[in-house]
Amino acid sequence: MNGRKRAAVKASTSIVHVPNQEALVLPCRILQLPRRTIYEILSRLPIKTLFQCRSVCKRFLCFISDPEFAKLQLSKSQVCILIKTLPLQNASKRLQLAHVEANGSTFEVSKLNFTPKSNLPTIDISHMNACNGLLCLVGSEKDYNIYVCNPILGEFITIQPPYKDRQRGSFWGLGYSAMMNQYKVLQSYYPAMESNNRYAMAEIYTIGTGTWRSIGSAPIDTVALPFNAFLNGALHWFPCTPNGSEFIHTFDFDSEKFGTLPPPDHFRETDKKFTNYSRIGVLGGCLFMIYFTNSTRFDIWVMKDYGVKESWIKQFVIENLYPKQGSWDFYEPMVVLNNGEILMLFNNDAVVCYNQKRKNLRGTKFFRTRSQFDATAFTPSLVSLNNVAKGEQIS
């Protein structure tokens, strides 16, 4: 196959092994239920428990490996926080998945740690986004490959880009076409300087085919694609120079067309400060965007009915932020907890929790590192690349 490989990702976690026959009584009783009922029960378990259930017995492993179960599990999967340390020697090889629930003033945290083997990019991942529990990773300037992996199952494939040299203004994004039941990688780029073409171009790689194909021009500026911005079959991002009705750009993986979404009414004129510090993503199953009113407050707008401009509402007002004289901080909402508090990434240094009733921030200590890190909302899944790649032979 054209430049594609599959390898394993080593997951270091605490696996529960069945110690004796008495412990087998419960799973054996469950196995007497209809398969659909078993699937419903298993699909409601946290991802870490499901990961451990694969070691209970062969029947459980068979159930959890079924593509139909993977679809059901994805529809019920709980949003977690995916944490990746920023480049610092070997530290950036680690991915950590944390499921967080509020328990009064404390947190209940369940973690999974993953350490990719050496043939995944380990030092500098310049782009990363997620779709249905799969990660799209793009290496640094020294590594031109694109990697699609499922960290839960320990699988990844390597995709060679269509050009040996990285093109100007390139960006990549993974998405899913429900109509075709296919995963695709979008690449947009400006042709080389010596080319007469001054417009951005786009190409699509359908996972399982091994080939890239052109889809024409791309009406976009150079962008940094948000990690958590795949919704309703499309990727979403801010262009570098937004204006008026073309504020949010999209790419639909069914139609393979670029488009736009309207912002809330008062987003008619924006300044550079807004585009530098705003965020767009998915929160609670809806598209959200952040608007900073000043350095100590921002509003979270949510599109309740996808594609309908009138459905934008100001759902959260985040006040009493940590002010910095002469500079602005970065905040990225990740998860709304069961008690209504919001977990946010703060300046790639900490995960903070905002209490809407008290209107204050407090720190969390469930992830500690000496280096900076990326943290974002991530919905883990059991979507297997064995099925996504349609079982083609990997060279």
Q: Is residue 244 part of a domain?
A: yes
Asked if 27 and 115 sit in the same domain, the reply is: no
CA 326 to chain centre: 32
Asked if 311 and 373 sit in the same domain, the reply is: yes
Using pLDDT thresholds of 50, 70 and 90, give the confidence band for residue 72.
Answer: very high
**Residue that is last in its domain, among 55, 73, 91:** 73
| Higher per-residue confidence, 54 vs 272 | 54
Q: What is the mean pLDDT of the chain?
A: 78
pLDDT at 22 over 80: no
Written as one letter, the residue type at 26 is L
Asked if 17 and 124 sit in the same domain, the reply is: no
Using pLDDT thresholds of 50, 70 and 90, give the confidence band for residue 393.
Answer: very low
Asked if 41 and 180 sit in the same domain, the reply is: no
Max avg pLDDT among 22-36, 227-241, 272-286, 320-334: 227-241
CATH code for position 376: 2.120.10
Sequence-distant (≥ 6) Cβ neighbours of residue 258 within 8 angstroms: 202, 218, 219, 220, 249, 250, 251
Asked if 145 and 250 sit in the same domain, the reply is: yes
Range of the domain at 46: 10-73
In the chain the first and final C-alpha atoms are separated, in Å, by: 6
Contact by Cβ (8 Å): 216, 236: no
Maximum alpha-carbon separation in the chain: 73
Give the pLDDT confidence of 195-253 residue by residue, as tens digits: 566 678 899 999 999 899 999 988 766 566 788 899 999 999 887 665 555 678 899 99
Q: Is residue 59 part of a domain?
A: yes
Asked if 337 and 347 sit in the same domain, the reply is: yes
Sequence-distant (≥ 6) Cβ neighbours of residue 60 within 8 angstroms: 27, 42, 53, 54
pLDDT at 298 over 50: yes
Mean pLDDT, residues 95-113 taken together: 78
pTM above 0.85, yes or no: no
Q: Is residue 32 part of a domain?
A: yes
pLDDT at 6 over 50: no
**Residue that is last in its domain, among 31, 54, 73:** 73
Taking the C-alpha atoms of residue 10 and residue 128, their distance in angstroms, rounded to an integer, is 19
Asked if 24 and 105 sit in the same domain, the reply is: no
Using pLDDT thresholds of 50, 70 and 90, give the confidence band for residue 152.
Answer: confident
Taking the C-alpha atoms of residue 259 and residue 245, their distance in angstroms, rounded to an integer, is 11
Q: Is residue 394 part of a domain?
A: no
Asked if 80 and 99 sit in the same domain, the reply is: yes
Asked if 142 and 283 sit in the same domain, the reply is: yes
Q: Is residue 393 part of a domain?
A: no
Q: Is residue 4 part of a domain?
A: no
Q: Give the number of domains in the chain.
A: 2
Q: Is 364 helix (H, G, I), strand (E, B) or coil?
A: coil
Q: Is residue 62 part of a domain?
A: yes
Q: Is residue 1 part of a domain?
A: no
Asked if 52 and 127 sit in the same domain, the reply is: no
Q: What is the model's pLDDT at position 4?
A: 46
Using pLDDT thresholds of 50, 70 and 90, give the confidence band for residue 14.
Answer: very low
Give the pLDDT confidence of 110-122 residue by residue, as tens digits: 877 766 554 555 5
Asked if 68 and 147 sit in the same domain, the reply is: no
Q: What is the model's pLDDT at position 308?
A: 94
For 20, 301, 317, 336, 375, the CA distances from 378, given in Å and listed in that order, are: 35, 20, 23, 13, 9
Asked if 226 and 184 sit in the same domain, the reply is: yes
